[in-house]
A and B are shown apart, each in its own frame.
Chain A
Amino acid sequence: MRIFTNTHYDFIRWRWHALILSALVILGGFGAIASRGGLPLGIDFSGGTIVVVKFAKATSEETVRTAIDTIPGEKVVQTYGDASQNEILIRLPQVQGQEQGFQLEQGAKDILAALKASNVGTFEVRSQEIVGPVIGADLQRKGIYATLASIFGIALYIAFRFRPSFAIGAIAATLHDVLVTVAFLVFFGYDLSLNIIAAILTITGYSVNDTIVIFDRVRENQHTMRREPLDKIVNDSVNQTLSRTIITAGTTFLAVLSLYLFGGEVLEGFAFTMLVGIISGTYSTVFIAAAVAIILSKTSGKKAGAASAAVSTSAGTKPAPATGSKSAAGKGGRKARAS
């Protein structure tokens, strides 16, 4: 069984459409963020209190909301996980107060006291997380730094193994993935937590995998298709590796899907982020990384021959192209190829 054999999709021709679609999604994300007044931050970054209680009997969010009504501040009460689990999550915002004499755990104590006092039934505290303001701000800073540092670290590696214009393409693709993922997180109502940032960091490493495979094939094709324009080389490379790209994305997607479905509520945000990241990563590799690499290579002149000689080559010859893509007069122009 083979899928995607002998494909001749002209990805390069569709790159502007793809870029526009991505821009729309990302702008939509910014819009959603602006309309809610900022990124949806979990308590890890904004500080605050989260208590997850499990009731012995089914209890509605409304009951709990009424019970804790006396506590000041904007409270969030929502069902946690599967409805049959009877778990409710209660979130209190960060209390603005001095640290001197400031009881970090006051909010949590108040919640539990209020619940007990209003006789909502027996409950068990599943987990309790309280983050003070200083720690929250600290983690925000570290999270941004780690993400950016990871992107640039990987880009450096690609610049070293391939060539700088490819590295810029990789950075563009990865930044695209991060922004698209954050946009989807906002659309679907997830709060940024430490786990989600961990997933975003993982995506920066993962999304570049496909990119490397395609760049690798481009480098290889440049030897055998020396006289062809870069447009065509890249297009052919993408088509040749399409099968592999889709399948690896597919298998990783399957594994993470299992995590999303069966892995429990704690990891749900993480799994969702990875799912979006995998799809976005594949999409960005096919359309964006290659496109950016071409744009940059063109503007920096004809470096195709010289650069590939400087890059280390690997053993083994590429098999004679079974795809039979011979172009009649392919030079510079973007010829649409019917598949």
Chain B
Amino acid sequence: MYKNLRWKLLSIALVVVVAVFGFYPPEQKIRLGLDLKGGVHLVLRVQTEDAVKFETELTSERLRQALTEKGLTGTTVTVEPPMTFKVAGVPSQQDAEFRRLADDQASRRFDRASGSGGTYTFTMKPSEAVSVRESAVRQALQTIERRVNDLGVAEPIVAQHGSAGDQILVQLPGVTDVNRAKEIIRSTALLELKIVEAGPAPSEESLLSASGGKPPEGMEVITGANLSQDGAGGTSYYLVKQIAPVTGRDLRDARPGMDENGLPAVHFSLTREGATKFAKLTSENIQRPLGVILDNRVQSVATIISRIADEGQIAGNFSPQEVQDQSLMLRSGALPASLTYMEERTIGPTLGADSIRAGVIASVGGLLLVALFMLAYYKLAGINAIVSVAMNLIILMAFMSYIGAVMTLPGIAGFILTIGMGVDSNVLIFERIKEELASGKGARAAVAAGFDRVFLTILDTHVASLISAGFLFQFGTGPIRGFATTLFFGLISNVFTAVFVSRTLFELGLSRRQQVATLSI
């Protein structure tokens, strides 16, 4: 009689119970990928050059202010993006003092080179540039995460992506208004409060006529909607300084609210440091127009009546939804650099459901076809094969559920492949058993020899497929990783079911009779 048969059967039963418990009911226990649930998959690139340029501009502005404060007038500071700025016109008698100031402001990040006639060139150190880029990507990652969470998407994915380290992957399952989501994620949401030096003017030429056709040093031309009361559309042109005294970085909070006329507006409040800067800006510029600029477009211009410290509002032609979205983006912080979309895949919800249905039908169809063949060709032994393949699938589902793997459409294909490959092992064993029987062994000896001899071959073939599954996992993202995962676990569990389970079933079948009878194979 077979020893341990009872224990073997018990352990198999235990495995089945644990497995089924792991993935039943499937709607709750199995995580679906985007291609089955519907949703959008985005890859964005962070324009890290912008962050570097911003850092250069910021440092040059700080140096310029320091020079003005110390009375070193007559110097000009020009920025050569992205990594360089020049100071010209440093008087020789104040050279030493200039160097001290420059070192104070810029030596951490910039290398200083002196040229002829009191000119200095500051270039960002390469290691600093790298760290600025990396921190831009990190910051973008966090900002996008906050925005995505605020959007209220369930189980989103926001992660770094790609070999260059400057791509971000965003997956939003179940999102239907894809365009709104994309706008919210991508919008720089850069808030700037600047004094309007000149404007509004109906055209760029008329704006610049006073300064000879070009913007004065340190200033730039930006546009905004025509805010005049005559109701005509079109753009107005404004002249503002390039660098803003108060930006979105100084925001403490932003909330939707209403302006004096009862129209939707964003109310914002500033941090303590921001409030100090804002107070300075407003108190030095009483009676001058203050522009609220969002993403380089002038939203509103108001005359400064008195010193304002810590609050403000952004009013314009906003809808309530826009005010909501704008507050969301301001709260999450401005993106340190702009983002461009590199890849976008949207699966509509109906397609997702259809794909699941097609996948299930194909799986059942595959199982039936294979089962019918095995029964026809191997007769009763075919049942062993069917049972072991079925168990294989159950264990596979359990694996997926326990490790939280995501089921994708190619993952379902992996299921079907597992059916085919699972049966391979059984065929291998059965053919060997037939050979052993043909050479004259009795039923029990044939079964034993068949399993023993074939085990190593099964291992070899599975290792080869596991290697290819490994490379698949590394190569793919999303759906293909789902496939690699089902293939991988399907192969592993197959070794268990094809060898252990199938053999136990054979032994069960043979244990009843004392006399060795024929095997139905």
CB within 8 Å of A: which B198-217 residues: none
The distance in angstroms between the C-alpha atoms of A324 and B452, with both chains bound, is 24
CB pair A154–B464 under 8 Å, yes or no, is yes
Chain A contacts with B in 176-204, Cβ cutoff 8 A:
194-195, 197-198, 201-202, 204
> Known: A126-B348, A262-B361, A271-B413. Contact between A153 and B471, CB under 8 A?
yes
Interface: B510 (CB within 8 A): no
Interface pair B344/A135, CB less than 8 Å apart: no
Pair A132/B342 contact, Cβ less than 8 Å: yes
CB–CB B435/A259 < 8 A: no
Contact (Cβ within 8 A) A262 B358: yes
Docked-complex contact B428 and A254, CB < 8 angstroms: no
Q: Chain B 144-187 against A: per-residue CB contact (8 Å), 1 yes, 0 no?
A: 00000000000000000011000000000000000000100000
B35 to chain A: closest residue by CB: A266
Bound-state Cα–Cα, A198 to B476, Å: 8
Judged by a CB distance under 8 angstroms, whether A79 is at the interface is no
Among candidates A143, A251, A266, residue contacting B420 with C-beta atoms closer than 8 Å: A251
Contact with B along A133-159 (1 / 0, CB 8 A): 011001000110110011001100110
CB pair B457–A213 under 8 Å, yes or no, is yes
| B366→A254 contact, CB < 8 A | yes
Given the complex, which residues of B lie within 8 Å of A241, measured CB to CB? 431
Residues of chain A contacted by B260 (CB below 8 angstroms): none
* A271 and B416 alpha carbons, distance in the complex (Å): 10
Contacts of B449 in A (CB 8 A): 316
Contact with B along A250-261 (1 / 0, CB 8 A): 111111111101
The answer to whether B373 touches A259 (Cβ under 8 A) is no
Please name all residues of chain A whose beta carbon is closer than 8 Å to the beta carbon of B43 when the two chains form the complex: 135
Supposing A161-B460, A252-B423, A254-B370 touch, asked if A146 and B343 sit within 8 A by C-beta, the answer is: no
Do residues B467 and A102 form an inter-chain contact, with CB atoms below 8 A?
no
**Known interface pairs A104-B342, A127-B346, A259-B416; A264-B468 also in contact (CB < 8 Å):** no
**Contact with B471, one of A149, A209, A253 (Cβ below 8 angstroms):** A149
B162, B341, B420, B428: which contacts A213 (Cβ < 8 A)? Answer: B428
Q: If A1-B377, A127-B345, A264-B355 touch, does A320 touch B420 (CB 8 Å cutoff)?
A: no
- A contact residues around B409 at 8 Å (CB): 264, 266-267
A259 and B428 contact, Cβ closer than 8 Å, known pairs A212-B460, A250-B373: no
Say yes or no for A129: interface residue by CB 8 A criterion: yes
Measured in the bound complex, the distance between the Cα atoms of B483 and A256 in whole Å is 14
Cβ 8 A contact of A130, one of B345, B367, B431, B452: B345
- CB of B370 within 8 A of CB of A255, answer yes
Residues of the B chain whose Cβ atoms lie less than 8 Å from the Cβ of A60: none
Measured between beta carbons, the chain B residues less than 8 angstroms from A213 are 428, 457, 461
Cα–Cα distance between A128 and B179 once the two chains are bound (Å): 12
- The chain A residue with its CB closest to the CB of B340 is A99
Q: Which residues of B contact A250 (CB under 8 A)?
A: 373
Main SS of the interface on chain B? helix
Q: Does B499 contact A (CB under 8 A)?
A: no
Cβ of A127 and Cβ of B351 under 8 Å apart?
Answer: yes
B416 pairs with A319, CB closer than 8 A: no
* Interface assignment of A2: CB less than 8 Å from any CB of chain B: yes
Q: What is the 8 Å Cβ interface bit string for chain B, positions 390-411, against chain A (1 contact, 0 not)?
A: 0000000000000000000110
A230-252 Cβ-contact flags toward B at 8 Å (1 or 0): 00000000001101100110111
Give the contact-size bracket for chain A: 35 or more
Answer whether A205 and B467 are a contact pair too, CB < 8 Å, given A99-B340, A243-B431. yes
Q: CB-CB < 8 A to A127: which residues of B? A: 345-348, 351
Question: A156 — nearest CB in chain B belongs to which residue?
Answer: B467
| A316 smallest CB distance to B (angstroms) | 4
> Residue of B at shortest CB range from A125?
B348
Contact (Cβ within 8 A) A208 B464: yes
CA distance A252 to B376 in the complex (A): 16
A31 at the interface (CB under 8 A from B): no
In the bound assembly, the distance between CA atoms of A202 and B366 in angstroms comes to: 18
Task: Please give the distance in Å from B15's CB to the nearest CB on chain A.
Answer: 23
| Complex Cα–Cα for A197 and B342 (A) | 21
Given A146-B471, A202-B417, A262-B358, A319 contacting B435 (CB threshold 8 A): yes
Least distance between A156 CB and chain B CB atoms (Å):
9
Chain A residue at smallest Cβ distance from B360: A262
Would you call A330 an interface residue if the criterion is a C-beta within 8 Å of the partner chain's C-beta atoms?
A: no
Residue of B nearest to A274 (CB): B417
Question: CA–CA, A322 to B361, complex, Å?
Answer: 43
Decide yes or no whether B456 CB sits under 8 A from chain A: yes
CA distance A320 to B449 in the complex (A): 13
B422 to chain A, nearest CB (A): 9
> Is B346 touching A194 in the complex (CB atoms < 8 A)?
no
Contact of A130 with B420 in the complex, beta carbons under 8 Å: no
Which residues in chain B, 410-462, are within 8 Å of chain A measured between CB atoms? 410, 412-413, 416-417, 419-421, 423-424, 427-428, 431, 434-436, 438-441, 449, 452-453, 455-457, 460-461
In addition to A205-B469, A319-B438, 13 A-B residue pairs with Cβ atoms within 8 Å of each other are: A99-B45, A104-B340, A157-B463, A243-B431, A251-B424, A254-B369, A256-B366, A259-B362, A259-B416, A261-B362, A262-B365, A267-B359, A267-B413
Which A-B residue pairs are the 9 nearest by beta carbons? A205-B468, A319-B439, A252-B420, A264-B358, A255-B420, A146-B475, A258-B366, A258-B365, A205-B465
- Using CB atoms and an 8 Å cutoff, list the residues of chain A in contact with chain B: 1-2, 52, 54, 99-100, 102, 104-105, 124-132, 134-135, 138, 142-143, 145-146, 149-150, 153-154, 157-158, 161, 194-195, 197-198, 201-202, 204-206, 208-209, 212-213, 216, 240-241, 243-244, 247-248, 250-259, 261-264, 266-267, 270-271, 274, 314-316, 318-320, 322
Instruction: Please list 9 pairs of residues, one from A and one from B, whose beta carbons are closer than 8 Å in the complex, sorted by A's number.
Output: A150-B468, A161-B460, A209-B461, A241-B431, A247-B377, A258-B365, A261-B362, A274-B417, A314-B456
